[in-house]
């Protein structure tokens, strides 16, 4: 049974003195659920959020890591460093692909470093508007996966990465893909993983949707059995929004567990 995941990417928001309170408020508002909840604060807030969430059932992740394990890289943060503060990390977010010119090859190196450090990754993929309009969205996502996943091994147990389909035109714009579109792309993602020889991940690895998800739109995505949750940006800074999103996800998680019990 695949888990249902709600991940909140706080991006460059909150401060070390405010992040713990927000994390605690989200934990309180989303208590008592089977949904796997992960918050991704800025690096400088990781320790505060980890401390605030201790014993609360939520996990903490970083928004990025460096592709080398250590050394003379001023200002950078490695997977080994993060390991003491976090259990998850985002790799390949479109804002970093755009602003830091992260290529699929760099994203792949980061993913392998994260695996080495024992972190669970969310690998982000997704097409620009021009690619969607040109009918090339699936090709783009397949190429991103092929570029990032060469040399990544299949694993029997657990999931040390999830994939988030985040169409770039839907991020921070208030526009979303349709549930059907996102589900179709989840199918493309799983087929690509299988073609890359990652059969266990194709079957058992979570695929999330991201891009302007709110408590109002989450239902459309969770109605699709191909999708396993959401990577939430702006709405993850709002306690009420997170409460609504996790509540909706909790219904799906409970239904999956029920179906598992019956089978």
Which of 5, 23, 149, 171 is close enough to bind ligand PGA by CB under 6 A? Answer: 171
Residue 93 annotated as catalytic: yes
Min separation Cβ 71 and ligand PGA, Å? 29
Using an 8 Å Cβ cutoff, are 43 and 67 in contact?
A: no
Marked catalytic residue, from 59, 66, 93, 95: 93
Residue 89 binds ligand PGA (CB under 6 A): no
Q: Which stretch binds ligand PGA (CB under 6 A): 96-104, 110-118, 166-174, 215-223?
A: 166-174
Residue 216 neighbours by CB distance under 10 Å:
13
Residue 148 CB, shortest distance to ligand PGA, in Å, is: 17
If we measure between CA atoms, which residue out of 45, 57, 36, 37 comes closest to residue 18?
45
| Site pattern 145..164 for ligand PGA (x: CB under 6 A) | --------------------
Ranked by CB distance to ligand PGA, the top (closest) residue is 233
Closest CA to 97 of 28, 160, 166, 44: 166
Which residue bears the tokens 């620009």? 128
Which DSSP string do the residues of 206-219 spell out, in sequence order? -EEEESS--TTTHH
The CA radius of gyration of the chain, in Å to the nearest whole number, is: 17
Q: Which residues bind ligand PGA (CB under 6 A)?
A: 9, 166, 171-172, 210-213, 231-235
């Amino acid at each position: 049974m695949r888990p249902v995941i709600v991940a909140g990417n706080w991006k460059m928001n909150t401060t070390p003195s405010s992040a713990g309170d927000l994390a605690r408020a989200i934990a309180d508002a989303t208590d008592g659920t089977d949904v796997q909840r992960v918050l991704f604060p800025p690096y400088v807030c990781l320790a505060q959020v980890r401390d605030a969430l201790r014993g609360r059932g939520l996990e903490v992740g970083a928004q990025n890591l460096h592709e080398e394990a250590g050394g003379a890289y001023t200002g950078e943060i490695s997977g080994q460093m993060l390991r003491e503060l976090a259990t998850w990390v985002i790799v390949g977010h479109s804002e970093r692909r755009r602003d830091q010119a992260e290529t699929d090859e760099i994203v792949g190196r980061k993913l392998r470093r994260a695996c080495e450090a024992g972190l669970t990754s969310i690998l982000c993929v997704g097409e620009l508007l021009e690619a969607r309009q040109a009918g090339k969205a699936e090709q783009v996502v397949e190429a991103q996966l092929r570029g990032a996943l060469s040399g990544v091994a299949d694993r029997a147990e657990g999931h040390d990465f999830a994939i988030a389909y985040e169409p770039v035109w839907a991020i921070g714009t208030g526009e979303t893909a349709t549930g059907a579109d996102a589900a179709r792309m989840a199918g493309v993602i799983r087929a690509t993983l299988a073609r890359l020889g990652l059969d266990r991940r194709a079957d058992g690895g979570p695929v999330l949707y991201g891009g302007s998800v709110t408590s109002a739109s989450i239902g459309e995505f969770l109605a699709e059995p191909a999708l396993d949750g959401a990577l939430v940006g702006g709405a993850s800074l709002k306690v009420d929004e997170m409460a609504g999103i996790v509540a909706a996800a909790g219904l799906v998680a409970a239904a999956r567990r029920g179906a598992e019990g019956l089978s």
